[in-house]
Structure 1
């Protein structure tokens, strides 16, 4: 039996990791200037340039049911006897997972898991699933799915947008909150609470200070497995911040860390210079 893992582009899994673990990724959408772009095929720089010109951010949309049907059909052509395990973008922030459910009704041997997470938090679950199978190729499908589902509530994502401008343009903060936040250099912490994106805390200061404070708070809040940790960023995050974060990770005993650049969908919401952390609790 061949097991193929699938997910959406909103997981931000780098292409090389997807290829290494035979993970198939279906694109979500970015709508800009009336044109529908597939996430993963739109350079993030174009989004930022668009905002500079128009002071508007693109809209993002889910993968639709017809696209999932085509996606699953193509996988079955390539792997006729495969079992597909789809680990999806949180159903509480997008209709993408529900569209996958609709499409899967036309197929046999497709199993769907709502990761209740996005970006690196989703990537953590998908990559964990891939390693489970690689470490134990004889694992039963039932045990594999049970272990993946058990990992879902243990995936922890904390994310700080790089720009209040993007949050205001997208209608996610009021003008009053934007003005006070900009004056005081306040940055909201975004986390997944029951699968929903929530602002849970506010930090004050420049991103170099805030990112370091976030990392220390993250390690205090969660008992993260030291084997593997992922750092997320959008284009524009300073290299000096990355170096300092790597130092803190090493000081705290993390064996393997990976930097993941957000794609167009997540960058549209996070703005330039955003930073996040994703890991799996023990």
Structure 2
């Protein structure tokens, strides 16, 4: 039986089967497009594709403190006196700070709220939680959960490449000259989540080189644990997905592999809608 409440934010993609054996609450970020603001949980990222192509300015916002207070109260109403909160990295969003402020505002000394910064995000948090769902459902206590998820976060890698760079230009993350040069040279920026922030670690010019980098990165953590779970994210890159899966299965035959095709609206707004990547955790 689950012993503590669990709260995640809406940037973590899941379907009805992903975390079906555990109880959790979701706190939504928001997306503003053409002066219209939507809760992330209420829209599909495909809504944003035309705006990305048109270069429309869009932005996202962290959840309010009040939204987290409501989530805490919902968990308390279910009978939980201990609550674990797993927001996206504090290096990427103020979501973590909102969660901490809400815990202070709630002012319930009888309720143990842990806001845990894994320095991960999106499909990285999804992958971490999937290594722990059975333990949570079986009665893992919150102390062990906090210890394990932080340990496993340190034994993880998250990398991806983007093959549609328009949104990086739209958001100012890529200068116009660099954008056009990348197109001419067929550069595929290799981005890694390092210490909670997204860093461009390489600029390969072929998908073959990208996949080679992915395999080497996964290989760098396998000695850190007996088990290996990998979430592969593929956004409109089916040929690359097929090759990446082939190589993962050949190099890491005992890995548990999960494939998803969504990163949810907030990350689509920031990064665009075409690319491929992975999150891997050894444990």
TM over 0.5: yes
Superposed CA RMSD: 2.1
In terms of fraction of residues, the more strand-rich structure is 1
1:186 deviation in Å?
0.5
Range 120-129 or range 164-173, more displaced: 120-129
Q: Deviations over 1:49-82 (max 9, x none)?
A: 1223x312521111111111112212222x1234
Q: Deviations over 1:248-273 (max 9, x none)?
A: 22212144211122111111222122
Partner SS state of residue 129, structure 2: helix
The reply to whether residue 102 of structure 1 matches residue 105 of structure 2 is no
Aligned to 1:120: 123
Distance 1:148 1:100, change over 3 A: same
Range 210-219 or range 90-99, more displaced: 210-219
1:210 deviation in Å?
4.8
> Given the two structures, how large is their TM-score scaled by the length of structure 2?
0.88
Q: Deviations over 1:114-159 (max 9, x none)?
A: 010111112222333323323x52x443223222222222221101
Aligned to 2:58: 58
Aligned to 1:198: 199
Aligned to 2:245: 246
CA distance in 2, matches of 1:75, 1:3: 9
For structure 1, which runs of at least 5 residues remain unmatched after alignment? none
CA distance in 1, matches of 2:266, 2:160: 15
CA distance in 2, matches of 1:142, 1:122: 18
Aligned ranges 1:163-242 → 2 under 5 Å: 163-205=164-206, 207=207, 209-223=208-222, 226-234=227-235, 236-238=236-238, 240-242=239-241
CA distance in 1, matches of 2:112, 2:55: 46
CA distance in 1, matches of 2:193, 2:80: 36
Corresponding pairs, count = 274
Distance 1:15 1:87, change over 3 A: same
Aligned ranges 1:15-164 → 2 under 5 Å: 15-52=16-53, 54-77=54-77, 79-105=78-104, 106=106, 107=108, 108-134=111-137, 136-137=138-139, 139-164=140-165
Range 102-111 or range 141-150, more displaced: 141-150
Distance 1:40 1:210, change over 3 A: farther
Is the Cα contact below 8 Å between 2:30 and 2:37 reproduced in 1? yes
Partner SS state of residue 42, structure 2: coil
CA distance in 1, matches of 2:232, 2:163: 14
1:203 deviation in Å?
1.4
Q: Deviations over 1:82-111 (max 9, x none)?
A: 421111211111100010001112142211
Runs of 4+ aligned residues of structure 1 deviating over 6 Å after TM superposition are: none
For structure 2, which runs of at least 5 residues remain unmatched after alignment? none
Partner SS state of residue 243, structure 1: helix
> Given the two structures, how large is their TM-score scaled by the length of structure 1?
0.89
Distance 1:184 1:251, change over 3 A: same
CA distance in 1, matches of 2:189, 2:76: 43
Is the Cα contact below 8 Å between 2:63 and 2:95 reproduced in 1? yes
